[in-house]
Amino acid sequence: MSTLITTDTRFLNHDPGPGHPERPARLASLLSLLDKALPAGARVTPARPASDADIAAVHDQAYLAELRALAGQRVALDPDTFMSPGSYDAAVLAAGAAVGAVEDVWRGQAENAFALVRPPGHHAEQAQAMGFCLFNNAAIAAQAARRLGARRVMIVDWDVHHGNGTQHLFERRSDVLFASCHQFPFYPGTGAPDEVGLGDGAGFTVNCGLPAGLGDADYGAVFNDLFVPAGLSFKPDLVIVSAGFDAHARDPLAEMNVTERGFAAMCTAVKQLAEECCSGKLVLLLEGGYDLDALVGSVRACLEVLAGRREEFPAGAGSKSVAALRATQDALRRVGRGGDFP
């Protein structure tokens, strides 16, 4: 068994323009990492495009047609989100990489996987591009897992920005548990602790909004005290991570103080959760992370964890901030059922 890394040079063809933080250099730096420091036990495979059916399982057909009609053009979809001539094909490939990673892990062709893709996806709504995102890769991957036979899927989102699109796509469902820790209040303005799901999905959305300035031990408290117990109770058949690295202390778009070691600890926590619940079936999907050195170091740390070459655990309880403990306790209280899932 091995760790699968799926990526592709065609992701470099998505170019939002000069000065944009979600730039091709992000992926180029990760491709360079794979050339120089591929962990033992990991292998790289090319991505394949998503089918229209894969994408339409999440997004409106009219929205898919709208973006397809813009293929080959340079256009602004909103003040932050741009398409270049290669963007549509890159977005379809990113969604396909997410689906392919899920398929390979589900079928036992890899123990776990990391899809190094761009554009990112977790802000994309059912019929709207947003926050650098065109298609919602995590949601498309979760739907693929359900199609393959997974009864329950857990999506953990540790990007510093709340995954509004992913939450909205699943907030009325009980087959997908969405758990997010993010800077709050912050872009995109969603992710308050009282957003816990609607209707049949009430209690299956877990939001832990964190104040700026928190670090490794604080995120460790969120995972140890909130996400891992919720996951153990939910018993997913597959775990998907929206793995953004913009909570890093050096990231220019946020105000957190997480280090490479903190991301390795989060990855260790979800890997152990997946081993406990679903024979290790775990898929990470790249979201944000805009300081190149921080991105490379954090991705390397997570790949080492996935490949079984590293384990990290958060610092002891005494180093956790009061703010993190309060946020975790508030999220637990808001979910309402104490983390127990039928």
The residues annotated as belonging to the active site are 123
Q: Kindly list the distances between the CA atom of residue 69 and the CA atoms of 58, 75, 135, 202, in Å, as whole numbers in the listed order.
A: 19, 11, 15, 37
Neighbours of 316 (CB within 10 A): 9
Q: Is the peptide bond before 16 cis (omega within 30 degrees of 0)?
A: no
Place of tokens 């094909």: 89
DSSP state of 215: B
DSSP letter (8 states) at residue 315: P
Look at residues 122, 327, 342 and name the one whose alpha carbon lies nearest to residue 226.
Answer: 327
Count CB-CB contacts under 10 A for residue 202.
Answer: 15
**CA dist 75 to 20, 60, 118, Å?**
14, 20, 17
